[in-house]
Structure 1
Amino acid sequence: MKLRDELPTDHRLATVYRYGAAFCGAALVAFGCLGFADRLSPFNTAGTTLAGLSTNGVLSVISVLCGAVLITGAVIGGNLASTLNMTVGTLFLLSGFVHLFILDRSANVLDFGMTNVVFSFVMGLLILTFGMYGRVSGSLPHDNPYWRQRHPEQAAREDARRRAQAPPEVTGPASAARSAFTEPRS
């Protein structure tokens, strides 16, 4: 199964993807800009804290770049925003796991502390949730565009059944004249 095969091109879930990416991207850009404002040295691992998280110049650059990628996805929107949210969210989760294992080692060049690891997990899950919202579930409603894309035959049968049950719609001048006689006057 290819991911692109199941993506509908136009759906109302895209607003969730856009707002989620914009919100998380803005938070990351703000954190990175605060690091730039403090003029942090690039590879300082002395434990400089900012907004409760330990940071250095390189982590500020990475935060701004990740935030800019998410904001760009929010501007473009649609399926790209969803896929981008899922990708960046997964990278944040992986970063949390990697930094969990290198906390007190010399390989910790980004100066991650335990609060950074927790932040990475929380932000990753949040971004990932925004990306997968309405897209991944065992019981998607039948009007969901992803369900319809995955089950085209059943969606066509349901549409045909719905059209057969709907009363016929009559339009034109003859129907307007007919309704004038059948509608009660007040």
Structure 2
Amino acid sequence: MRLRDELPVDHPLNRFYRFGAALCGLFLLVFGCLGFAGSLSAFDTAGRQVAGLSTNGLLSAVSVVVGLLLVAAAAVGGNIASSVNITVGALFVLSGFVHLFLIDRPANVLDFGMSNVVFSFLMGLLIMTFGMYGRVSGGLPHDNPYWRSRHPDLAARETAATRRPRPGLPGPSVPARPPTT
């Protein structure tokens, strides 16, 4: 698939990708800013809680950067927002798995707890859902721009078939007028 040509600029899915990126990005920005407001040190692993999640200065910084990335993707919109949502969501899920094994170990520099792991899984799945909606499916309708980009020959034939009348079929019929008396 080509990234720029598969979805028209004014396609309704564009709003969905933007909304998802903006919503999740703003949530991460708020979480990161609350962590900074608590004057946390960068590598503190003492288990300070912000919004029910353990955090430190480094996790707050990562949250702000990822939140800004998602908000920027929402500003751009379209396929960029969708692709960024898919990528960031996959990274969140991967981070959940990695930190699941790092809990209570010295390598846990982001101070992840079990609530952070669960949050990482859920946020990752939510962000990926926002990015994949309408793009990944087993049965996309033929008017979907992603289906059309994956099957250009069939799409061209369908478009051509709808533009020209088929031979042997009667043209548009005009209803007969009732007799006047």
Same fold (TM over 0.5): yes
Written as runs of structure 1 = structure 2, the 5 A alignment for 1:50-65 is 50-65=50-65
Gaps of 5+ in 2: none
Pairs aligned (count):
169
CA contact (8 A) 1:6 1:150 kept: no
Q: Within 2, Cα distance between the matches of 1:90 and 1:147?
A: 23
- Report what 2:39 is aligned to: 39
Q: Within 2, Cα distance between the matches of 1:6 and 1:104?
A: 47
Gaps of 5+ in 1: 170-181
Q: Within 2, Cα distance between the matches of 1:137 and 1:55?
A: 36
Letter in 1 for 2:31: F
- Report what 1:23 is aligned to: 23
What per-residue deviation string (whole Å, max 9, x for no partner) do you get for residues 34-80 of structure 1? 11111111111111111110001110000000000000000011111
Change (3 A) 1:23 1:168: farther
SS state at 2:42 partner: coil
- Report what 2:106 is aligned to: 106
In terms of fraction of residues, the more helix-rich structure is 1
Written as runs of structure 1 = structure 2, the 5 A alignment for 1:1-186 is 4=3, 7-10=6-9, 11-164=11-164
Task: Report the identity percentage.
Answer: 63
CA contact (8 A) 1:9 1:79 kept: no
SS state at 1:106 partner: coil
Compute the RMSD of aligned alpha carbons.
2.2
CA contact (8 A) 1:85 1:130 kept: yes
Please list every run of at least 4 consecutive aligned residues from structure 1 whose deviation after the TM superposition is greater than 4 angstroms: 165-169
Q: Within 2, Cα distance between the matches of 1:17 and 1:131?
A: 6
SS state at 1:4 partner: coil
Q: Within 2, Cα distance between the matches of 1:48 and 1:5?
A: 43
How far residue 6 of structure 1 moved from its aligned partner, in angstroms, is: 7.3
TM normalised by structure 2 equals 0.86
Q: Within 1, Cα distance between the matches of 2:42 and 2:171?
A: 70
